[in-house]
Amino acid sequence: MKTDVEELSPTRVKLTIEVPFEELDHAFDVTYKSLAKQVRIKGFRPGKAPARLIDRYVGRGAVITEAVNHAVPELYNEAVQKEEVFALGQPEVEITKLEDGQELAFTAEVDVRPKFEVTDYEGIEVTVDDAEVTDEQVDERLDTLRQRFATLTGVDRPAQEGDHVSIDLSAAIDGEKLDDVQANGISYEVGTNTMLEGLDDAITGLSAGESATFATKLVGGEYEGRDADVTVTVHSVKVKELPELDDEFAQMASEFDTIAELRASEAERLGETRRRQQLSQARDRVLDKLVESVDVPLPESVVAQEADRRRESLERQLAQSGLTKESYLEAQEQTEEEFETELSENAAKAVKVGFILDQLASQEELAAGNEELTQYIVEQAQLMGISPDQFFQSLMQANQLQLVYVEVVRAKALDLVVSRARITDESGNTIEPPAVPAAQTETVTVSSGEEDAEETAADSADTDSADGDGETRA
């Protein structure tokens, strides 16, 4: 087999492959065996008819076409391996020469991973928010805890914002009462505006036993979007009473004996949370600067595939939530055009991030060991609320174990850059990132192969990924 590679662009190549007919013997053997089982030739049992009779029975041209269809994918993969082409997606194949008994020639155009080096990634400078914990922030955490132990007490006065009321609702359209649009004994906090437009204004000022009618649009159900007159009747008005921040509250709400101990514990927890957020922010900002510093040409097809994946994922989530894309765009205050532009930009960034982290991992010879893969699976299973074994089995069934390996190695590549970055907070304090563990020598061989590994063409630190749809790699 003779192969030639022509670079059409930094992200696309054209392979020209020429094969003497004698190298197609295996493809013809497979074809004849397959056809022999399908045809019925008098005097021969199924699968036993000789090649010359099959040629006559189905036609030599049909046999050649079948053999070529079988051979081309194998020949293409062999050429990709031989020429060390890092192909992305499926090739566009064209048969340029097919002479029976002499030669098969074809071309294959395919997008490829761009060739580049990641340089100047040591000492990236970023600034992050301060992690200092203030008394006001601790007070907010304690107030949230107080809310959990609050009690409701009835009051004999008109309802006002912040009160909790028990109400009945009924609706009518054009004076005709809607029997199936009513609800009784609903608990509602005045001022939250979480039900019907105008409800809060109607309730405010009503005492127990009083009613008011207001005009609004119905939400949900058969009459969704219709204008209606809704009557609200208040049955009770209650106020929320919060416990005092004293030692008694500390003993009731925690394992501590004094409010001082509880406050100190909450301050420490908040500090840990703030420091984790600080490091997460540092990772994001280091990654952004890294991406900005590297110029990488992006294959349009891979970016388009990633945009399609993100669009389909969003539409699937909306459908599961019973929402429409129109309502989503309205909530985001976006037009369809703005949504598509943002989608394409995010897809392109995700693809670029994946390329950069993969290249960096290659340059630094990073790999993932069994312990790291197991830790990743356990952490992801916890986030999903399932057992690690259940998550592992789902990965096996979906043939995605290699994607886990890619994910872990890319995370290690980013950790390496962050560990070598210069991070300061807004007050000028130096932030020390976590040290990168020593490289593990025990790596994992996953049978799904590089094609599955590169279904994800890019994956950023915030877990976004870009599908490359079956890359083939030497």
The two tokens of residue 316 are 């699937």
Q: Is residue 136 part of a domain?
A: no
The residue from 190, 225, 241 where one domain ends is 241
Residues 6 and 61 in one domain: yes
The residue from 60, 82, 112 where one domain ends is 112
Residues 319 and 414 in one domain: yes
Q: Is residue 413 part of a domain?
A: yes
Q: Is residue 436 part of a domain?
A: yes
Per-residue b or e along 442-467, where b marks 16 or more CB atoms closer than 10 Å to that residue's CB: eebebebebbbbbbbbbbbbeebbbb
CATH number at residue 91: 3.30.70.1050
CB 40 within 8 A of CB 46: yes
Structural domain count, the chain: 3
pLDDT at 43: 63
Residues 174 and 59 in one domain: no
- Residues sharing a CB contact under 8 Å with residue 204, sequence separation 6 or more, in sequence order: 158, 159, 160, 161, 190
Residues 388 and 304 in one domain: yes
Q: Taking CA 448 as the corner, what is the angle to CA 303 and CA 446, rounded to the nearest 5 degrees?
A: 115
The two tokens of residue 434 are 């976590």
Residues 404 and 303 in one domain: yes
pLDDT at 47: 60
Residues 284 and 164 in one domain: no
Measured CA to CA, the distance from residue 174 to residue 54 in angstroms comes to: 79
Q: Is residue 78 part of a domain?
A: yes
Helix, coil or strand: residue 234: strand
Could you list the residue range(s) of the whole structural domain that residue 167 is in? 151-241
Q: Is residue 127 part of a domain?
A: no
Q: Is residue 103 part of a domain?
A: yes
pTM higher than the cut 0.75: no
Residues 369 and 284 in one domain: yes
Q: Is residue 473 part of a domain?
A: no
CATH number at residue 334: 1.10.3120.10
Helix, coil or strand: residue 311: helix
Residues 103 and 235 in one domain: no
CA distances to 193, 194, 315, 338, 339 from 324, rounded to whole Å, are: 22, 19, 8, 17, 14
Q: Is residue 137 part of a domain?
A: no
CA distances to 27, 79, 103 from 100, rounded to whole Å, are: 14, 22, 7
User: What does each of the 474 residues of the chain score in pLDDT, given as a tens digit?
Assistant: 999 999 999 999 999 999 998 899 889 888 888 887 777 776 676 666 777 787 777 788 888 899 999 999 999 999 999 998 989 888 999 999 998 888 999 999 999 999 999 998 999 999 999 999 999 999 999 999 999 999 999 999 999 999 999 999 999 999 889 888 889 999 999 999 998 999 999 999 999 999 999 999 988 778 888 899 999 999 999 999 999 999 999 999 999 999 999 999 999 999 999 999 999 999 999 999 999 999 999 999 999 999 999 999 999 999 988 888 998 999 899 999 999 999 999 999 999 999 999 999 999 999 999 999 999 999 999 999 999 999 999 999 888 888 899 999 999 999 999 999 999 999 999 998 877 765 543 444 343 333 333 344 333 333 343 333 334 333
